[in-house]
Amino acid sequence: MRVLIGSPGCEFLAGARLSDLVAAYEEKLADDPMIKTLKEKTGKSHLVFIVNGVVIKPEMFDQIRLQTGDDVRIQHPYFGG
């Protein structure tokens, strides 16, 4: 099941939790210099996950089940330039 069009093209089984996707994405970004610094300084990546146009609060990550065709976007904390 390919659910992502706004982030790395990971494959997930239908019904996977959003939290699985979040974990996979954060792992993929482990060496990203900006995310690494943010985690060192604040303990968090501060990524925002948006599913089908709805911003998902972190406490909901476990409750969202991904389905084929879902539009998942990931917003990084950066701004400017």
Binding site for other proteins (CB under 8 A): 4-9, 29, 31-34, 36-38, 42, 46, 48, 50, 53-55, 57-58, 71, 73-81
Which residues does residue 74 pair with via DSSP β-bridges, in sequence order?
A: 49
**Considering beta carbons, is residue 9 or 27 the nearer one to other proteins?**
9
Question: How far is the C-alpha of 76 from the C-alpha of 43, rounded, in Å?
Answer: 15
**Residue 4 CB, nearest distance to other proteins (Å)?**
7
**Residue 47 CB, nearest distance to other proteins (Å)?**
9
Among candidate residues 7, 12, 45, the one with its CA nearest the CA of residue 26? 45
Helix (H, G, I), strand (E, B) or coil at 57: coil
